Amino acid sequence: MDFQKLAEAVVEGNVKKVKGLTEKLLSEGIRPDIILNEGLLKGMQKVSDRYKEKDFYIPEVLLSSRAMQAGFHIIKPLIEDNSTSALPHKVVIGTVAGDLHDIGKNLVSLMLKSRGFHVIDLGIDVPPEDFVEAVKKHQPDILAMSSLLTTTLAIIPETIRLLKKEKYRDKVKIMVGGAPVTKDYARAVGSDGYAHDAINAVVVALDLVKS
């Protein structure tokens, strides 16, 4: 079955094979959202499972993510032209003001995209006002904030307070992460979820959109 072969190609990180199988399925008249869900995303689910079992590590995850993105790039225009989007869940993400680190945030963005999320990446050094404006503009399911410096941790609760002031806090789930962030801190400042790495961020995000 080509769906299974496509999922396996994603797990293998085989970009050429993923492209070929994606194009083959499209040529056979298979809907792009079905290719996404039954092939590409199922492959990434296997990658996530193997990562949890410590059978895969970050380099292998990145290879699989890039292969998945190669297939997704082919079907994305067709999905966007479809009135029923196959990407129903939206995430706004950024590194908080005063912090110029982006490697972790970029990896989380990549992993979220590889699991079918529509990601709006605000970049680095994002002040609370810009996070709130992005929530107003894009109406995401999740706002994800990254802080890699202890000195910038205060931006997270400041952003949450501003969301409350603007009456948008109840309209979005908040997920936080980064080296100095802990589960207890995330809970204390009023976030809805905490992720300690990129794979876990996907798990948390999927749980948040279900709740």
Query: Which runs of E-coded beta strand occur in the chain?
Result: 90-95, 118-121, 142-146, 173-177, 193-195
Domain over 2-81 is classified CATH 1.10.1240.10: yes
What stretch(es) of the chain map to CATH 3.40.50.280?
90-210
Give the DSSP H/E element, type plus range, for residue 110. Answer: helix 103-114
Q: Looking at per-residue confidence, does 131 or 197 come out higher? A: 131
What stretch(es) of the chain map to CATH 1.10.1240.10?
2-81
- Report the alpha-carbon distance of residue 102 to residue 105 in Å, rounded: 5
Tens digits of per-residue pLDDT, 72-129? Answer: 889 878 765 543 445 579 999 999 999 998 878 887 887 788 777 889 999 999 999 9
What pLDDT is attached to residue 84? 40
- Report the alpha-carbon distance of residue 48 to residue 111 in Å, rounded: 10
What pLDDT is attached to residue 42? 86
Burial status of residue 54 (CB atoms within 10 A of its CB: 0-12, 13-18, 19 or more): exposed
Task: Supply 123's token pair.
Answer: 């970049």
What pLDDT is attached to residue 45? 80
Of 14, 26, 113, 86, residue with least CA distance to 3: 26
- Report the alpha-carbon distance of residue 147 to residue 102 in Å, rounded: 10
Name the CATH topology of 90-210.
Answer: Rossmann fold (3.40.50)
Within 8 A by CB and 6+ apart from 172, the residues are 135, 139, 140, 141, 142, 143, 163
What pLDDT is attached to residue 81? 52
Q: Looking at per-residue confidence, does 37 or 160 come out higher? A: 160
Instruction: Spell out a b/e string for 174-185, using b for 16 or more CB atoms within 10 Å of the CB, else e.
Output: bbbbbeebeeeb
Confidence of residue 48 (pLDDT cuts 50, 70, 90): confident
- Report the alpha-carbon distance of residue 175 to residue 131 in Å, rounded: 13
